[in-house]
Amino acid sequence: MSPPAPPPCGRFAPSPTGPLHAGSLVAALGSWLMARRSGGQWRVRIEDVDRPREVAGAADAQLAMLRACGLDWDGEVVRQSARGALYQSALDQLLADGHAFVCHCSRSALAASGGIHRGRCVATHPRPDPAIRLRVPPDTRIAFDDGLRGRIEQDLWAEVGDFVLRRADGLWAYQLAVVVDDADQGITDVVRGADLLDSTPRQILLQRRLGLPTPRHAHLPLLRDAAGRKLSKSLGAQAPDPADPLPALRAAWQALGQWPFTADNVQAWRVHALERFDPARIPIADPVGASPTGRACQHD
């Protein structure tokens, strides 16, 4: 008799490189709705392994915005910067099993050889600060069923190659950290933006190498500006106002393809949203972004 399936558990994992902009709110809201509608838990994790890019106070501002929007979470907020021992343990396992290797290739040398690392280092001499990569053998194909986009398949050897687990500057790579964290936190459902769709096959391969479970995945549409560019902090995407979050929530709800409704406060909005949310209405195509007032965002 097989053990019972774990209860659903989703998560939202922002990087603290700026305020929670409109595109991030779409991802947070979609993830929260998918978890709560099934009676599951929802966790928040601050992905702050890339410390040079971190903006002081950004994590606290992001959490404040989630609270203002009524997107409550379960358990303590996890910060990747405090979890290095877990990542090191996973890396040691991969090295011991022969799945990972030390790489002395510089970015310039790798670019000169085609930009994809496939099995053999092209470095002419050892570096004092080598990276560590996951070995991706030829014909490594990963396929999975996305909850919104259907069957996805990628030839990792041809399209990605051996990818970094620990960077040459000593920082942990996103791919390793997120896989270790999702397993440690019991995440069963990863609902996030489609900009991370290309990372999913790498993470599934890592999960298999480490003997970890693979969550279900669903990749949400991205908000784009009038020029078709993804709304992001780097493009100056407008941050919602935590003092008046309802316009931003309505815009995110619209971006998820849901029928509009009226509510006078965040608590009432939450109740109605959970009652009315229909995942089947989430679009595949990326919508043009809406500002918290509902007007199309224009960015230089």
Q: Which residues have CB under 8 Å from 77's CB, separation 6+?
A: 44, 45, 46, 63
230 is annotated as an active-site residue: no
Check 233, 272, 276, 299 and give the catalytic one: 233
Amino acid at 271: V
**Are residues 298 and 226 in contact, defined by beta-carbon separation less than 8 angstroms?**
yes
Contact 224, 231 (CB under 8 A): yes
| N residues, the chain | 300
What radius of gyration, in Å, describes the C-alpha atoms of the chain?
Answer: 20
Return d(Cα 16, Cα 53) in angstroms, integer.
Answer: 8
| Nearest to 204, CA basis, from 192, 217, 193 | 217
Nearest Cα neighbor of 178 from 61, 48, 23, 52 is 48
Runs of H (alpha helix) within the chain: 22-37, 58-68, 84-96, 107-112, 156-159, 174-184, 200-210, 246-255, 266-276
Give the 3-state secondary structure of residue 190. Answer: strand
Q: Which among 2, 33, 22 has a CA at the least distance from the CA of 12?
A: 33
For the annotated catalytic residues, the residue numbers are: 233
